[in-house]
Amino acid sequence: MIKIGVVGCGLQAATIASYVGVYGDEYEVVAVADMNIANAKSRLAEKKVHVSADCKFYADVDEFIAAKPPVDGIIIGTFCTYHTETACKLEQLGVPLYIEKPVAINLEQLKQLYNTFKNSSTPIEVSLPMRLCPLTRRAKSLIDAGLLGKVHQVVGYEDTHGEIYFSTWFRDAEKTGGMFMQKAVHDIDYLFYLTGCNPVEVCAMRAKSYYQGDKPYDMTCGECPDKMTCPEGPMTQFKEMGRYENVCEAIEKNSMRMNPDGKVGTKKFCVFSKDIAIEDIGECIFRMESGAHVTHTQNFIAKAYACRRGARICGSLATLEIDFNNSTLALYHHRNNSVERYTVDQGKLSHYGGDRELIYDYIQTIKTGKRARTDLIAGNGVMSTLACICARESADSAKFIKIEL
Ligand SMILES: NC(=O)c1ccc[n+]([C@@H]2O[C@H](COP(=O)([O-])OP(=O)(O)OC[C@H]3O[C@@H](n4cnc5c(N)ncnc54)[C@H](O)[C@@H]3O)[C@@H](O)[C@H]2O)c1
């Protein structure tokens, strides 16, 4: 029986906890620390997590540590601000940790985290599933087989709608560190993995361009006098975008993020609120140790068929294109007019199947002590967060920033 502890047991941590049984292992959650215990219980129930009948609930990580619960692994899913502090406190228990991304939201935290774990015997797996999903691993095998030749340029992109980021807690920049850390960190990790080396320096830009507005920060869509003419409002969503059954449902769904059980929900706020400090467009360019350039661009404006997530990797011999949303790779040869196309089934679990591998590694670490592929230290799980912190600094100072800890 695998005994799991959770610190910060919201949607994400409960989802990961629910995966602990996917390889047939018996498990149960025996200890939970959360500043909102009612929310934690609700999320565990919603995700159908196996919770021990005498599971203990604590108000914070200090109480959790003092109680010395008999756990084989601990999942950290607090708000991003607390990831470092929580992990550093838990290190002393010597139990394999699973930490959500970003592992830190500023350089000071990241140094503390790195220094705490660099010589520690406590394994710490970072939630970086994009480098583990079948599509990325197939791309890596083509690159490693030499089909592209030397890699010169990598251009990654994610264009996706921003509703969740601009209407829920993700809009609080101090809770997430901004969208490089919150979103790009996943893709920058797999882009570095494919390039096969570390970044040296970065230049970047970011801005809030589309979600400009002067609505109160805590006003819901339902409360807004302009909701029927708003470009993101219920009328547009129902009549033009074809979402929801009717305008009333659109108002309700725009104002409340319901749990699947329909019982508990959290308020959603106007995406055009003033004082939202996260960006909706962002770009960064990394100079890699190999001399290659890695670019990543993201926006939270695109919708419907305009959404995309993927990358083009240009080598001497061929260009490889990854398309996550269509599960395809295309290998365009430079020396002849041929294109090889691959469809790679993602299989089950989120992040294009990457979570299946993440949880496999975590279970192996619990059973054997073997470090995960995305371990903070052994798996270079620290690098994408470091790169994103430096990208943010570059964007905010309009300077090239050296990437070093
Ligand atoms: N890997 C991914 O793709 C992915 C997806 C979503 C969220 N996340 C990350 O997971 C984390 C949680 O996100 P979520 O969507 O589950 O949020 P959430 O609001 O659903 O859950 C957070 C939970 O942690 C608790 N909490 C926060 N800080 C705490 C602290 N210091 N001590 C104790 N409890 C604390 C809250 O009360 C809440 O129950 C974030 O860091 C987010 O970036 C990762």
Omega prior to 102 cis, within 30 of 0: yes
* pLDDT bracket for residue 264 (50, 70, 90): low
Q: Which residue ranges make up each domain of the chain? A: 2-128+356-368, 130-211+276-350+383-402, 221-267
Q: Has domain 130-211+276-350+383-402 been given CATH number 3.30.360.10?
A: yes
For 124-156, what is each residue's pLDDT tens digit? 999 999 999 999 999 999 999 999 999 999 999
Averaged pLDDT, 361-367: 98
* pLDDT bracket for residue 260 (50, 70, 90): low
Nearest CA to ligand 1 atom 12: 77
Q: What pTM did the predictor assign?
A: 0.96
The three-class DSSP label of residue 48 is coil
Question: Greatest CA separation found in the chain?
Answer: 66
Other beta carbons within 10 angstroms of residue 244's beta carbon come to 16
Report the residue among 9, 63, 78 best suited for mutation to probe ligand 1: largest number of ligand atoms under 8 A from its CB: 78
The per-residue pLDDT for 78 is: 96
Q: Across the chain, what does the average pLDDT equal? A: 96
Q: CB within 8 A of 26, min separation 6: which ones?
A: 1, 2
Q: Given this structure, which CATH class describes domain 2-128+356-368?
A: alpha beta
Binding pocket residue ranges, ligand 1, CB within 6 Å:
7-13, 33-36, 39-40, 60-61, 77-80, 82, 100-101, 127, 182
Distance (Å) from CA 140 to ligand 1 centroid:
31
For 161-172, what is each residue's pLDDT tens digit? 999 999 998 999
The per-residue pLDDT for 265 is: 72
Query: Is the pLDDT score of 259 beyond 90?
Result: no
Distance (Å) from CA 8 to ligand 1 centroid:
6
For 267-302, what is each residue's pLDDT tens digit? 999 999 999 999 999 999 999 999 999 999 999 999
For residue 281, the cross-strand partners are 207, 299
